[in-house]
Structure 1
Amino acid sequence: MTRTAIVTGAARGIGAATALRLAADGYAVAVLDLDEAQCADTVTAITEAGGRAIAVGANVADAEAVESAVARVAAELGAPTILVNNAGILRDNLLFKMTDDDWDAVMNVHLRGAFLMSRAVQTHQVKAGWGRIVNLSSTSALGNRGQANYAAAKAGMQGLTKTLAIELGRYGVTANAIAPGFIATDMTRATAERMGISFEDFLAGAAKEIPVGRPGYPEDVAAAASFFCSEGASFTSGQVLYVAGGPRA
């Protein structure tokens, strides 16, 4: 029996790398993002490598859209029992400049989205008596200047993860979180552009602050997700794994 995974925010970056890794691990994968057309490259990469995947467009902060998306995945790929809540956005600003919309948008995509997706998928997991939920947190959960919204959302992901682990464990479902540090993605590239420096200089500067001496890449996070979704991780639940190249100073 082939298990089915849903990866949100999987059109690019960490989500795309995770979808590719889970497909390589033998799972059928629903590549979910806000714009279904943007998922095409990830789906093509999976199918060309011999895997099964579909593109699904949905706003994870919209309850009806989430229910419809999960139902579609169940109908087209099979009941989803693996969920990676990766969808996220940035609306960085210092507190006194942060707008209500900046706060609400980040909370809705990260936290509300993870809640809605987990609630929809757990029905299938409980019925199967097996499941894996992986939530994307961040080192920013420890606090980061200019990210009151993002830091609060990513800390919230850790609390959500631990609660899901407690509630769903009896049904054979594990829930864990990954907290990436500096990862080279389109999102960090946009940050460099906003700061007015080249992406290469931005990466080099970040690497100097990381004990292993390099930035992280989406595949580093995907490898951690692969473990959490595996059969071998059945006794690992409620954990937060920092994938950050070393402890934060």
Structure 2
Amino acid sequence: MSTFNRQSFDLTGKVALITGGASGLGQNYAIALSLYGADIFVVSRQQTGWETTRQKVEANGHQIAFLQQDITEEGCAPRIIQQVIDRFGHLDILVNNAGMQRRDDVLAFKDADWQRVIDVNLNALYYLSHAAAQVMVPQGHGKIINIGSMQSYRAGKYIFPYTASKHAVLGLTKAYADALAPYHIQVNGLAPGYIKTDMTVALQQDPVRGPEIKAHIPSGDWGVPDELMGPMVFLASAASDYVTGVMLPVDGGYLLR
């Protein structure tokens, strides 16, 4: 007899840690998870968006806490996880959302830019996942959701560390899914397509690339942030308990072409 019901998506009593969860798409993830019942812990390097995010999460009837922290600081991952435990008592969902990009010509690319992007997009994600696993394994459940990209699958001839890091996030998602599955912990990812956000306005308005990208999307247009919220809730909830090691593209079919 099936145990699937409306409560399969319910996150009541769950605690979600979201890196970069107060701005951009991260804020949408915080709102979505709180709408379905989760309390939220946001860690971000700056306080941008904190008050707006607080208001939106509390309007959903749930608690939110913030920590200002550069997640690339050596040794910080266990401390971040401990602060979540100290504040809420447990950790059920980790959303590795924080990311950055550096762009340059192949011959001019700077070593410092390579290192910074890899540190944020890959190393910090790994260390936080490792620290979260230390508490999720003993409790016998958990969800780790890594944010990938179209560059988890495609090349990027001006964004070398970003492409490398997002390919690596896909691989690490699979490796951690395999390792943690015996402990009833699911590790999956979301790969947003071309989404209309403040950060992509310049690309949307680019007279060459803007129309090229739009024409490449079978659905006919760029996505909007709300379209990532349902997939996030699915991957964070019991509805996805038999799904692990998957990077789910939310791209309007962009990767089909």
Q: Superposition pairs for residues 64-143 of structure 1, below 5 Å?
A: 64-141=75-152, 142-143=154-155
- Structure 1 position 201, deviation (Å): 9.4
Contact 1:31 1:42 in 2 (8 A): no
Q: Residues 200 and 85 from structure 1, CA distance in 2 versus in 1: closer, same or farther, beyond 3 angstroms?
A: farther
- Structure 1 position 173, deviation (Å): 0.3
Query: Is 1:223 matched with 2:230?
Result: yes
Cα distance in 1 for partners of 2:46, 2:148 equals 23
Q: Residues 239 and 44 from structure 1, CA distance in 2 versus in 1: closer, same or farther, beyond 3 angstroms?
A: same
- Structure 1 position 199, deviation (Å): 7.6
- Structure 1 position 203, deviation (Å): 5.9
Equivalent residue number for residue 237 of structure 1? 244
Equivalent residue number for residue 26 of structure 1? 37
Equivalent residue number for residue 159 of structure 2? 147
Contact 1:111 1:156 in 2 (8 A): yes
For residue 80 of structure 1, give the secondary structure of its aligned residue in structure 2.
Answer: coil
Equivalent residue in structure 1 for 2:176, among 145, 153, 164: 164
Equivalent residue in structure 2 for 1:209, among 213, 216, 228: 216
Cα distance in 2 for partners of 1:127, 1:67 equals 15
Give the counterpart letter for 1:72 in structure 2. Answer: Q
Give the counterpart letter for 2:53 in structure 1. Answer: T
- Structure 1 position 92, deviation (Å): 1.3
For residue 95 of structure 1, give the secondary structure of its aligned residue in structure 2.
Answer: coil
5+ unaligned residues in a row in structure 1: which ranges?
A: none
Equivalent residue number for residue 54 of structure 1? 65
**Greater mean deviation of Cα atoms: 129-138 or 115-124:** 115-124
Instruction: Please list the CA deviations of residues 202-226 of structure 1 after superposition, one character each: whole Å capped at 9, or x if unmatched.
Output: 7666333211112112222222111
Cα distance in 1 for partners of 2:49, 2:207 equals 25
Percent of paired sites with the same residue? 27
5+ unaligned residues in a row in structure 2: which ranges?
A: 1-11
Cα distance in 2 for partners of 1:29, 1:202 equals 36
Give the counterpart letter for 2:193 in structure 1. Answer: G
Equivalent residue number for residue 7 of structure 2? none
Cα distance in 1 for partners of 2:47, 2:80 equals 11
Query: Is 1:174 matched with 2:186?
Result: yes
- Structure 1 position 55, deviation (Å): 1.3
Contact 2:216 2:254 in 1 (8 A): no
For residue 45 of structure 1, give the secondary structure of its aligned residue in structure 2.
Answer: helix
- Structure 1 position 41, deviation (Å): 1.7
Report the TM-score when normalising by structure 1.
Answer: 0.91
Contact 1:28 1:53 in 2 (8 A): yes
Contact 1:57 1:69 in 2 (8 A): no
Cα distance in 2 for partners of 1:31, 1:203 equals 32
Q: What is the number of residues matched between the two proteins? A: 244
Contact 1:10 1:32 in 2 (8 A): yes
Cα distance in 1 for partners of 2:143, 2:53 equals 21
Cα distance in 2 for partners of 1:148, 1:206 equals 20
Instruction: Please list the CA deviations of residues 39-62 of structure 1 after superposition, one character each: whole Å capped at 9, or x if unmatched.
Output: 232122101231111112121212
